[in-house]
Each structure stands twice: as C-alpha cells, then as structure tokens.
Structure 1
C-alpha cells in the first residue's frame, strides 16, 4: 500500500516524535524541537518557548496510544482528536509540494497541528486497514515505534542500531 506524500510524512513525523521519548529522551531542548520542525517540513507559526517544548513532549504519549491501538480504538482516538481541534481539511500547495492536506490554520500551535495531521494520516491507515504498518520494535529491550512502508512488510526494527544489536547477539549465540 502506497500512501500519499502527506500521509507518509505525517506518519513518519509522528513515529519520530514518539521515538524521541524512548530512552534516552532526545527532545529536551528547544533546538531539538526546531530540528524536528525542520526535518519534517512543518510550516506555520511557533511559539519557540518552554511551553512549546513541554506541549510537544506531552503529545508523544497520546500519539503513541493512537499509533499502537487496535483499529477500532484508533478510529475513536482519531475522531476525538479531529473533533477537539475542529479540524477543517484544506488542500494547499507550498514550498514546491503539490496539493496536500492541512487540517488546521498555520497560526494554530505546533502541537495541535502535529496531533491533527497525525490523526488525518491515521484516517488513511484505518480506512485502508493497514494498521500492521505501525508496530513496536521487535528488539526485546526497545519500545521504539516502527513505520513499515516496505512492499513486503519486512521492517521489524525502529532503527539500524536495534537490528544490528539483535544480529550481533544471534551471531554470538551461534558461535558458542
């Protein structure tokens, strides 16, 4: 299943944000929010203060619940987020991107835009019955999220580090 660009981008951003809470926490400074904002192509206004950092950090747990829920629960969570933010999808073009959805006004706080855009991406995932594209890392000691957009659904680890760690452990076990 190939999702649209904005769906893929929102899912990747949500997984990246959720994974920033996995030990060690990689979202403790405003500069890290700035880097997240730039990496994932968010646009619009930002407060760029301690409250902004705290709000973005706080949304990680609710996003994790949405991304790891069963299909029915995820649908309920998506509906709750979209209703709470009074999301009104709009087709927009900017920064060389063709038409894609923005669901909140650009002046809306960043954390609200993250939540609503993730919810809109989950609409596509739920409707396509592709919840298996989102999973928890297969490494026993990791709680990271995996977004598997591979054709054969073979991605099991949140990072190369987790995959390599398991491969090295298996190699060492075979060598004994």
Structure 2
C-alpha cells in the first residue's frame, strides 16, 4: 500500500535515498541493486499494484494469478535474519520489484479468500487518491492519513460555522 501511495502527489519515491528508506521501513530482505533501474522498476510497478488493490474480487484473483505466474512463484517456508517461519515465493536474489509484486500478490490471496476487499478503499478526500487499508473493527476508516482527516474536519467545521452565521 505504501508503495502505491508513494506515487501520489507529492511523489515520495524519486531518489535512491527515498528507496533506501522505503526498503528499510518495510523490512525487505534479499537482493538490492541500488541503481536507477531498480528504482524505475518499483515506480513502474505502482499502477499494477493500484489496480490489484482496488479491483473487484474476481478481477483481483485474476491479477494475483497473473503476477504469480509471471514470477514463476513457488511458495516455500523460510526462516532468516531473526525472522520466524514465513513464506517466500521467489528466490531472495530475484529483483526487488519482482519480489514486491509477488509479496503483494501473496498477501492478496488471503484478502480475496476471506472476501475482505471492502477493507481496501480510496481516501474519501476529494484532493487525494491514496489507498486506505481499514483494519478498524467497525470498518469506519475513510481517510488515508491524519492530514486528510483533519483537512476534512476543518472544512466541515467551517461550513457549519458559515451555515449558522448565514
């Protein structure tokens, strides 16, 4: 989700330093090329992941299958770098964008199987296109960030003030 949202204005994935920070924040392991091609490949992956994360259930399943087939994914349990058993579906020496695509597809398998795609939405702020993952118990999250939520709360407050004054 963070990778997709990095493509919204202002784009927050344009430099190697930003890529390094994103890589560290999301605790990816394995091969890193540290070159412009790697950065460009991740940036190019964003529209595909946006399509996957906003698709209807059957379309999302087709996209997952296509991503996994393209990567020739073979899920296996791995334990490394102090992490307990978890799934890797491509080798750790595969290109970073390749691994990110497969990890997103693998994560979506459970979302699709449990029919929870309604937890993935687009921010309701008219000026924002970021994606929202709603993990709240009552499914009430509507904004991607506190910034968007606050901007809309202030606008609503001011509108109420104008309405009562007018």
Aligned residue number for residue 54 of structure 1: 40
The SS at the match of 1:23 is coil
Aligned length: 162
Aligned residue number for residue 106 of structure 1: 92
The SS at the match of 2:84 is strand
Aligned with residue 82 of structure 1, among 55, 64, 68 = 68
Aligned residue number for residue 154 of structure 1: 140
1:126-145 matches, cutoff 5 A: 126-145=112-131
Answer yes or no: is 1:166 the counterpart of 2:159: no
Inter-partner Cα distance in structure 1 for 2:99 and 2:93: 9
Inter-partner Cα distance in structure 1 for 2:108 and 2:56: 12
Aligned residue number for residue 12 of structure 1: none
The TM-score normalised by the length of structure 2 is: 0.95
Aligned residue number for residue 52 of structure 2: 66
Alpha-carbon RMSD: 0.8
Runs of 5+ unmatched residues, structure 1: 1-14
- Per-residue displacement from partner, 1:31-74 (whole Å, max 9, x unpaired)? 11111110001000111100011001000000000000000100
**Pairwise CA distance, 1:151:** 1.4
Answer yes or no: is 1:119 the counterpart of 2:115: no
The SS at the match of 1:172 is helix
Inter-partner Cα distance in structure 1 for 2:142 and 2:85: 32
Q: Which runs of 4+ in 1 moved over 4 A?
A: none
Inter-partner Cα distance in structure 2 for 1:112 and 1:53: 12
The TM-score normalised by the length of structure 1 is: 0.90
Larger Rg: 2
Inter-partner Cα distance in structure 1 for 2:53 and 2:87: 20
Inter-partner Cα distance in structure 1 for 2:42 and 2:19: 8
Answer yes or no: is 1:92 the counterpart of 2:78: yes
Higher normalized contact order (CA 8 Å, seq sep 6+, divided by chain length): 1
- Per-residue displacement from partner, 1:63-92 (whole Å, max 9, x unpaired)? 000000000100000000000000111111
